[in-house]
């Protein structure tokens, strides 16, 4: 019964698995793209066998180290291991620049991403900045200052993609774990509620059944009519207890202080305790009325179980905006755990309930020697008091929308990075100011539509709206080709990526490939070399994959965050079903048998006192066992042997003898 939820059956767990796979695929795709571009760039310079061998060795080392940093959670490694791997990657990133030149500069972005992934705290930012500064200086030294801006933008973008994809994968995993912890806490809270309600509601009802059954047993020989009346009351209490079984399983129920006082007087009288009640508090709000009724029920139960009371007084008064309930009895004896507000499972439960509405509870011997329990609460409950206790760190973390914000920021940063690189490239080749301004207008349309498509949930876009958005994006993407004369950066990747997350099925991959394939004939018509066409195609494919991955990961993170409440509700509902089954099997059958036997006894009396007395003996045995079962179910020990607790017999062991 008390197994913690493991997330089985949670449909959103598939989101986390999908996100992890996607992150790995994009990481491998990014590494493959950098590899292709770097190899082709080196080959375009007609290197000799020695440089090709160095290229192969350096590339193998960089890719192996980068794969480990991107997929093996390097922050969990020992400090020496991280220092060794990062130092090795730095060496194989910068040293080959001496022989391989500018084409090898793309590897600096991978090193910068590794630093962000492996170095914790503030130290990573100076190290990250030093890598960026070093590669910009190397680009200036090798290719001149004209390439400095491009080297800076390309390194920043590559490092952001590497860091972003790997971090989002870890983020999804952490979010899944946090949701499960939150669901586990919700189940624990539900179990505490069940335990409290079992003790406060069913414990009283079963005690009353046992007391009145014993009284009826004792009255049978001399006053069968009075015994019949007591049995009739047992029938009513058993019916209420059956209703309480269902309430405990499904949630909270309203109770009345006045009705509970009337029931308490009847039970106390049956226990031969002189009782009186004076309720002058007037009508109360539903929540306050229920909590005070539960306080009265528990205090009366304790008076029956833990004292030798002969008198009991119940008073409820209202002074201004405060209502006070006082239950006093003269049976002060040895203190038990349940007779103090801070101890046990009885009045301790009530303290929690009262604090939930802004009240408080006190209990102990009074100056006149009587034992009293006093509950005070505002007439108008103050729900804010419930938040007086600090929330667990896991609950605060799961409640904040930090994960979607981080994912959204990474998505926007990637889009901004590609936009910056494109502006730098086009600015270096655009022949006139008018052509550049026209390009900027189209770029603004592309970026605006891309942001809308990426950030808006897909279910908020009707089919025609998605079609219009893709049409506008395609028009603004291809229109500049009319006056630029060649592919403009990797903006085709925005359109390609949008096809991947807006179109379903295999068609999206066809459109993805077709939108990028346009780059090849356009580049050929513009007179680009084979290397330039391959580079433009490869960068567009990588841009499309990155846009798709960051958009999809952002949506998965948002979905996981929004689904945390659904997981909690599902876990609590599952727990309630288990409790309902347990209570039905353990207590439902016992109470039903008590009800049937009491109905039989009621029909027997007063004509057949002998058989009726035998049946009452059975009722007593059933009620005692049911009290023990309440403890078993509340603590989750059903099916395990526990020591017999004499307090559950209520001192009635001689009743059936």
User: Average pLDDT for residues 452-461, to the nearest whole number?
Assistant: 79
Cα–Cα distance for residue pair 468/188, rounded to 1 Å:
50
User: Average pLDDT for residues 345-352, to the nearest whole number?
Assistant: 66
Q: Looking at the predicted structure, is the pLDDT value of residue 307 above 80?
A: no
Cα–Cα distance for residue pair 243/247, rounded to 1 Å:
6
Q: How many helices (H) and strands (E) does the chain have?
A: 24, 5
- Picking from 456, 451, 412, 414, the residue whose alpha carbon sits closest to that of residue 558 is 456
- Picking from 274, 297, 337, 278, the residue whose alpha carbon sits closest to that of residue 208 is 297
DSSP structure string for 417-474: HHHHHHHHHHHHH--SHHHHHHHHHHHHHHHHHHHHHHHS-GGGS-HHHHHHHHHHHH
Report pLDDT for 2.
35
Cα–Cα distance for residue pair 204/297, rounded to 1 Å:
7
Cα–Cα distance for residue pair 189/500, rounded to 1 Å:
43
Q: pLDDT tens across 221-237, in order?
A: 888 888 888 888 887 88
Length, in residues, of the chain: 657
Q: What is the 3-state secondary structure (H, E, C) of 45-110?
A: CCCCHHHHHHHHHHHHHHHHHHHHHHHCCHHHCCHHHHHHHHHHHHHHHHCCHHHHCHHHHHHHHH
386 versus 556: the higher-pLDDT residue is 556
Report pLDDT for 420.
85
Q: Looking at the predicted structure, is the pLDDT value of residue 408 above 90?
A: no
Q: Looking at the predicted structure, is the pLDDT value of residue 531 above 60?
A: yes
Under the banding of pLDDT at 50, 70 and 90, the label for residue 433 is confident
Query: Looking up tokens 């990637």, which residue turns up?
Result: 414
Prediction pTM value: 0.56
DSSP structure string for 363-395: EEE-TTS-EEEEEEEESS--GGGGG-SPPPHHH
The contacts of residue 593 (CB under 8 Å, 6+ apart) are 622
The contacts of residue 153 (CB under 8 Å, 6+ apart) are 417, 420, 421, 424
26 versus 386: the higher-pLDDT residue is 26
618 versus 10: the higher-pLDDT residue is 618
Cα–Cα distance for residue pair 241/213, rounded to 1 Å:
15
Report pLDDT for 551.
87
The highest-confidence range among 148-152, 326-330, 362-366, 535-539, by mean pLDDT, is 326-330
**Helical segments of 101-202, H only:** 108-118, 124-143, 148-197
Q: Tell me if residue 282 falls in helix, strand or coil.
A: coil
Report pLDDT for 399.
46
Structure tokens at 15: 């989101």
Q: Percent of the chain scored above 90 by pLDDT?
A: 14
Worst-scoring range by mean pLDDT, 16-20, 82-86, 134-138, 318-322?
Answer: 16-20
Residue 601 near residue 612, CB atoms below 8 Å: yes
Structure tokens at 239: 């019916």
Q: pLDDT tens across 599-630, in order?
A: 778 778 877 888 888 888 888 888 888 777 77
The contacts of residue 447 (CB under 8 Å, 6+ apart) are 415, 419, 494
Q: Looking at the predicted structure, is the pLDDT value of residue 519 above 80?
A: yes
Report pLDDT for 190.
67
Cα–Cα distance for residue pair 636/651, rounded to 1 Å:
26
Q: Looking at the predicted structure, is the pLDDT value of residue 1 above 50?
A: no
User: Average pLDDT for residues 127-147, to the nearest whole number?
Assistant: 85
Report pLDDT for 266.
81
Q: Looking at the predicted structure, is the pLDDT value of residue 312 above 80?
A: yes
Worst-scoring range by mean pLDDT, 355-359, 491-495, 570-574?
Answer: 570-574
Exposure pattern of 589-601 as b/e (b: 16+ CB <10 Å)? ebbeebbebbeeb
Going from N- to C-terminal start, the domains of the chain cover 254-383, 400-562
How far, in Å, are 149, 167, 480, 538, 576 from residue 249 at the CA level? 66, 42, 66, 60, 5
Cα–Cα distance for residue pair 327/553, rounded to 1 Å:
60
169 versus 111: the higher-pLDDT residue is 111
Structure tokens at 364: 């102990």
Report pLDDT for 5.
42
Cα–Cα distance for residue pair 17/576, rounded to 1 Å:
29
Worst-scoring range by mean pLDDT, 20-24, 78-82, 542-546, 644-648?
Answer: 644-648
DSSP 330: S
The count of other CB atoms within 10 Å of the CB of residue 316 is: 22
Report pLDDT for 323.
94
The overall average pLDDT reported for the chain is 77
Report pLDDT for 178.
67
Report pLDDT for 339.
41
Report pLDDT for 385.
43
Residue 304 near residue 627, CB atoms below 8 Å: no
User: Average pLDDT for residues 546-570, to the nearest whole number?
Assistant: 75
Give the DSSP H/E element, type plus range, for residue 312. strand 311-319
Report pLDDT for 305.
67
CATH number of 254-383: 3.30.565.10
Q: Looking at the predicted structure, is the pLDDT value of residue 6 above 60?
A: no
User: Average pLDDT for residues 530-540, to the nearest whole number?
Assistant: 80
Query: Looking up tokens 């598939």, which residue turns up?
Result: 14
Under the banding of pLDDT at 50, 70 and 90, the label for residue 449 is very high
576 versus 412: the higher-pLDDT residue is 412
Reading across the β-sheet that carries 371-378, which strands appear in turn? 274-279, 311-319, 322-329, 371-378, 360-365
User: Average pLDDT for residues 150-172, to the nearest whole number?
Assistant: 78
Residue 172 near residue 15, CB atoms below 8 Å: yes
User: Average pLDDT for residues 460-470, to the nearest whole number?
Assistant: 84
460 versus 233: the higher-pLDDT residue is 233
Under the banding of pLDDT at 50, 70 and 90, the label for residue 20 is low
- Picking from 175, 166, 172, the residue whose alpha carbon sits closest to that of residue 73 is 166
Under the banding of pLDDT at 50, 70 and 90, the label for residue 14 is low
The contacts of residue 381 (CB under 8 Å, 6+ apart) are 285, 287, 288, 356, 357, 358
Under the banding of pLDDT at 50, 70 and 90, the label for residue 347 is low
Under the banding of pLDDT at 50, 70 and 90, the label for residue 337 is very low
Q: Looking at the predicted structure, is the pLDDT value of residue 403 above 50?
A: yes
The contacts of residue 240 (CB under 8 Å, 6+ apart) are 205
Cα–Cα distance for residue pair 59/93, rounded to 1 Å:
9
Structure tokens at 313: 């007084």
Cα–Cα distance for residue pair 1/586, rounded to 1 Å:
13
Q: Looking at the predicted structure, is the pLDDT value of residue 446 above 60?
A: yes
User: Average pLDDT for residues 503-522, to the nearest whole number?
Assistant: 88
Under the banding of pLDDT at 50, 70 and 90, the label for residue 242 is confident
How far, in Å, are 389, 397, 414, 524 from residue 384 at the CA level? 10, 20, 42, 70
Under the banding of pLDDT at 50, 70 and 90, the label for residue 471 is very high
Q: pLDDT tens across 362-382, in order?
A: 888 888 888 899 999 998 877
Across the strands, what pairs with 373? Answer: 327, 363
Structure tokens at 598: 């009491």
Structure tokens at 499: 């096809």
The count of other CB atoms within 10 Å of the CB of residue 151 is: 24
Report pLDDT for 580.
65
Residue 654 near residue 644, CB atoms below 8 Å: no
Q: What are phi and psi of 328, to 5 degrees?
A: -125, 145
Report pLDDT for 392.
47
Q: Do β-strands 274-279 and 311-319 pair in parallel, antiparallel, or remain unpaired?
A: parallel
């Amino acid at each position: 019964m008390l197994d913690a939820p493991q997330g089985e059956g949670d449909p959103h767990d598939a989101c986390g698995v999908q996100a992890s796979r996607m992150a790995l695929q994009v990481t491998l795709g990014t590494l493959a793209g950098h590899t292709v571009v770097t190899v082709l760039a080196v080959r375009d310079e007609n290197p000799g066998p020695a440089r090709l061998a160095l290229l192969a060795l350096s590339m193998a080392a960089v890719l192996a180290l980068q794969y480990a940093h991107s997929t093996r959670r390097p922050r969990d490694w020992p400090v020496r291991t991280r220092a060794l791997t990062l130092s090795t990657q730095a060496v194989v990133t910068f040293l080959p620049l001496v022989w391989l030149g500018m084409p090898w500069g793309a590897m600096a972005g991978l090193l910068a991403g590794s630093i962000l992934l492996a170095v914790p705290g503030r130290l990573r930012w100076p190290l990250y900045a030093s890598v960026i500064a070093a590669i910009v200086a190397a680009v200036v030294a090798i290719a001149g200052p004209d390439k400095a801006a491009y080297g800076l933008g390309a390194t920043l973008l590559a490092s952001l993609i590497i860091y972003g994809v790997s971090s989002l994968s870890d983020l999804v995993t952490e979010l899944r774990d946090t949701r499960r912890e939150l669901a586990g806490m919700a189940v624990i809270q539900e179990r505490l509620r069940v335990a409290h309600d079992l003790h406060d509601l069913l414990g009283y009802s079963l005690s009353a059944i046992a007391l009145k059954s014993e009284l009826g047993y004792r009255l049978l020989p001399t006053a069968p009519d009075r015994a019949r009346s007591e049995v009739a009351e047992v029938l009513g209490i058993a019916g209420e207890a059956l209703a309480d079984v269902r309430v405990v399983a499904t949630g909270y129920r309203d109770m009345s202080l006045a009705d509970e006082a009337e029931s308490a007087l009847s039970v106390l009288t049956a226990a031969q305790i002189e009782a009186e009640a004076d309720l002058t508090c007037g009508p109360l709000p539903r929540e306050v009325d229920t909590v005070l009724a539960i306080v009265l029920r528990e205090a009366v139960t304790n008076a029956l179980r833990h004292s030798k009371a002969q008198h009991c007084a119940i008073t409820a008064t209202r002074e201004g905006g405060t209502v006070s309930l006082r239950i006093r009895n003269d049976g002060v004896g040895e203190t038990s755990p349940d007779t103090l507000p801070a101890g046990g499972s009885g009045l301790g439960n009530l303290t929690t309930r009262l604090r939930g509405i802004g009240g408080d509870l006190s209990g102990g011997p009074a100056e006149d020697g009587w034992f009293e329990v006093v509950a005070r609460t505002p007439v108008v409950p103050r729900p804010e008091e419930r938040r007086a206790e600090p929330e667990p760190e896991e609950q605060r973390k799961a409640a904040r929308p930090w994960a979607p914000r981080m994912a959204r920021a990474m998505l926007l940063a990637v889009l901004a990075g590609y936009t910056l690189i494109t502006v730098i490239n086009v600015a270096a080749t655009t022949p006139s100011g008018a052509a550049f301004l026209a390009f900027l207008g189209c770029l603004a349309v592309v970026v605006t539509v891309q942001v809308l498509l990426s950030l808006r949930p897909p279910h908020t876009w009707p089919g025609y709206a998605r079609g219009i958005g893709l049409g506008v994006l395609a028009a603004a993407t291809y229109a500049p080709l009319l006056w630029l004369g060649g592919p403009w950066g990797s903006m085709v990747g925005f359109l390609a990526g949008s096809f991947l997350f807006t179109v379903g099925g295999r068609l999206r991959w066809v459109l993805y490939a077709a939108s990028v394939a346009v780059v090849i004939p356009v580049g050929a018509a513009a007179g680009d070399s084979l290397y330039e066409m391959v580079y433009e195609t490869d960068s567009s494919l990588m841009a499309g994959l990155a846009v798709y991955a960051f958009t999809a990961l952002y949506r998965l993170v948002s979905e996981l965050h929004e689904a945390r409440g659904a997981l909690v509700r599902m876990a609590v509902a599952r727990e309630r079903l288990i409790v309902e089954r347990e209570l039905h099997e353990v207590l439902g059958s016992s109470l039903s048998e008590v009800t049937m036997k009491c109905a039989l006894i009621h029909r027997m009396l007063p004509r057949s006192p002998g058989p009726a007395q035998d049946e009452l003996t059975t009722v007593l045995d059933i009620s005692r066992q049911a009290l023990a079962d309440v403890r078993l179910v509340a603590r989750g020990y059903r099916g395990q042997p526990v020591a017999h607790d004499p307090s559950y017999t209520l001192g009635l062991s001689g009743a059936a003898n």
